[in-house]
Homo-oligomer: A and B are copies of this chain.
Amino acid sequence: MKFEPISNCFISCDEPFDTAENIIMGIPYDGTCSFRPGSRFAPDAIRSSSCGIETYSPILDADLEEMKICDIGDLELSFGNKKSILGVIEAAALEVFNSGKRLISLGGEHLVTLPLFHALSVSLKTKDICVVHLDAHADLRDDYMGERLSHATVIRRISEITGTSNIFQYGIRSGTKEEFDLIKKEGTMVTPFSDLPKVIGNRPVYLTIDLDVLDPSGFPGTGTPEPGGWQFIEIYNILSVIKELNVKAADVVELSPHYDHSGVSTVTASKVVRELLLSL
């Protein structure tokens, strides 16, 4: 694969691939979505909407124009054959990781985190990768209606690789009784944000942000909205400690833009991406 910045890139992320330190990649896949599909449209919507916000963040006092970011556009994916799609995602991510760059992926649904994590693990030659997981849903099912590879099982699958002690979950407010029993037993929700640097230290980190962690009042455009979530500013709880972590990869998933005609969900996703980039 040859990567280069696209012309309709995320605002100001047009650094050539070779000199870029951070790579944005869109993954328009939503094939296992069980309720309301449409996150396939998210990467393009996020890019368009990024023109409506500034490159500068007053809270972080930082500016995208001072970073070296290359938005390489979307992977081309067909629908229906899950396994081959996951393979394509993993291969592309591996190439980015092997070039020594950080990858920020724009989903798509949450299952895409699995091949991204795999690729990172392969590239780093270690399974000992910490996963910081922001979400409304536990995603810890063993299977979902018989399927083991699903947006609802993705963290379970990852935990089987890296171990539940490496899973740090925030914002979870929906799941089956079994999932919450697991959460309690394994303690995946007990570490406060502020303790993360101390607990994780310099180990590599994969950060995955399922945008439905936000309250549906401010983020209605998602597949399975779950009332009782975070206000936007609570995102800064995690962003404020990211700089101290060794984040190797991150993703922002589950925007389903067609479900919010006001466009606010998409603007919000764009701002999350900007603040995430500025926090790395």
Query: A interface vs B, CB < 8 Å?
Result: 6-8, 30-38, 40, 44, 48, 51-54, 56, 58-59, 61, 63, 73, 76-82, 84, 111, 144-147, 149-150, 172-177, 180, 215-218, 220-221, 224-228, 231-233, 258-264, 267-268, 271
Contact = CB atoms under 8 A, between A and B. Distances in A.
A227 B267 contact: yes
A28 B233 CA distance: 33
Nearest to A33: B79
A147 B218 contact: no
Given A228-B232, A258-B258, A56 B177 contact: yes
A226 B53 contact: yes
Contacts of A174: 53-54, 58
A76 B51 CA distance: 12
Nearest to A229: B232
A6 B232 CA distance: 34
Nearest to A218: B217
Contact of A147 (B79, B227, B233): B79
A79 B262 CA distance: 22
A255 B33 CA distance: 18
A47 to B, nearest CB: 9
A84 to B, nearest CB: 7
Contacts of A36: 38, 52, 258, 263
A78 B152 CA distance: 12
B37 A81 contact: no
Given A35-B51, A215-B232, A259-B263, 20 more contacts: A6-B7, A7-B7, A8-B8, A31-B80, A37-B37, A38-B38, A52-B224, A56-B180, A58-B175, A76-B145, A79-B147, A80-B150, A217-B232, A220-B263, A221-B262, A226-B267, A227-B268, A227-B271, A259-B262, A261-B262
Nearest to A138: B58
Contact of A80 (B40, B44, B149, B231): B149
A263 B225 contact: yes
B56 A268 contact: no
Contacts of A54: 174-176
Report the 7 A-B pairs with minimum CB-CB distance, sorted nearest first.
A78-B145, A220-B262, A217-B218, A32-B80, A37-B37, A217-B217, A227-B232
A61 B176 CA distance: 10
A173 B59 contact: yes
A175 B227 contact: no
A157 to B, nearest CB: 13
Contacts of A258: 36, 258-259
A261 B256 CA distance: 13
